[in-house]
A = this chain, B = another copy of it.
Amino acid sequence: MNRRSPNRPPTLEEVAERAGVGRGTASRVINGSVQVSDAARNAVLQAVEELGYVPNRAARSLVTQHTDVVALVVSESEDRLFGEPFFAQVVRGVTNAMARTPRQLLLTMTHREADRGRLNDYLSRQHVDGVLLLSLHDDDPLPGQLTARGVPAVLGGRPHSEVTLPFVDMDNEGGAALAVEHLISSGRRRVASITGPVDMSAGRQRLEGYHQALVGHDFRPLVESGDFSENSGRRSARALLERAPDLDAIFCASDQMAIGAMTELAAAGRRVPDDVAVIGFDDSPISRHTVPSLTTVHQPVEDMGVRMVEMLGQLIEKPAEAVPDVVLPTHLVVRNSA
């Protein structure tokens, strides 16, 4: 009776025995080594088929020290993850690029403190070969922990200064400056801005671009801070209108906020773009269909996903080599709102 305990999946050893070869040879066949005779290979393949053998990944990982799994961690709630087209686009880029690698992608979201502990030691080497981090907030301890554990990781978006992980970022500052310059050169004199969250570098950089563009024009900055959401766009627009009834342009750090602002502008009886010009940021799919259609800053989101995967691949395969950070270009898409 050499049958194993109740319906455990078959092991390599059993496959080898059935094929009449040694464990080593069976392993070579499974892993596609060429140093195997055709006879042996066929025997093993047939045994695999008959037994329905699937390699035990835990056992394999234990010896190879890798898992062929990469995690994409999004530090946001499901609502934002699913609500904002941005994430869908990154994920599309990431999955496309992953299809060209031997690795499997895992998606994890973590807004909730309670989840953090579990996630955390899930991500510690031995379970994941690398991590893609999206939508990082400044106070997030994850980058530090990953660095400490030596887990290869790439960030989407530039981190604040203490984080040393490689990143792929957009030229947020340049894009914002482009937008504001467009506003000024088309004759606007009182240009306000609704910012993103200040604990995210994308938010800070877009604000910085706004300030940059104002330099030398002797315009006073006029800023309300939002959080990228449509609601915060409405709220901020209302506040702006109250503070500066004479404003004639608003640069919003996200399309969602621009949409909110336009709604509020309409409610206040201001015409877009006649009375007030509006520019958004993201070039999200909806920006094409708003009324009027939204002038906005395009950022190559899908590319970002692709580049992140490529960088992570390098990090995993050649841990010794440093990979340079990447900043992707942005450009202005002029439609009807400005």
Contacts and interface: CB of A to CB of B under 8 A. Distances in A.
B54 A9 contact: no
Nearest to A92: B78
Contacts of A7: 150
Interface in A37-64: 52, 54-59, 61-62
A114 B99 contact: yes
Interface of A: 7, 9, 52, 54-59, 61-62, 67, 69, 78-79, 81-83, 85, 87-88, 91-92, 95, 99, 102, 104-109, 112, 114-115, 118-119, 121-122, 124-127, 148-150
Contacts of A67: 58
A54 B106 contact: no
Contacts of A127: 57-58
B104 A107 contact: no
Contacts of A102: 118
Nearest to A7: B150
Contact of A148 (B52, B88, B109, B149): B52
A104 B87 contact: no
A7 B148 CA distance: 12
A132 to B, nearest CB: 13
B82 A85 contact: yes
Contact of A57 (B82, B92, B95, B126): B126
A58 B62 contact: yes
30 contacts: A7-B150, A9-B124, A52-B149, A54-B121, A54-B125, A55-B121, A57-B58, A57-B122, A58-B58, A58-B59, A58-B62, A58-B126, A58-B127, A69-B122, A78-B88, A78-B92, A78-B95, A79-B92, A81-B82, A82-B82, A82-B85, A82-B87, A82-B88, A82-B91, A83-B88, A99-B115, A104-B119, A105-B108, A106-B107, A107-B107
A118 B69 CA distance: 10
Contact of A9 (B52, B83, B88, B126): B126
A299 B280 CA distance: 35
A56 B126 contact: yes
Contact of A58 (B61, B81, B83, B91): B61
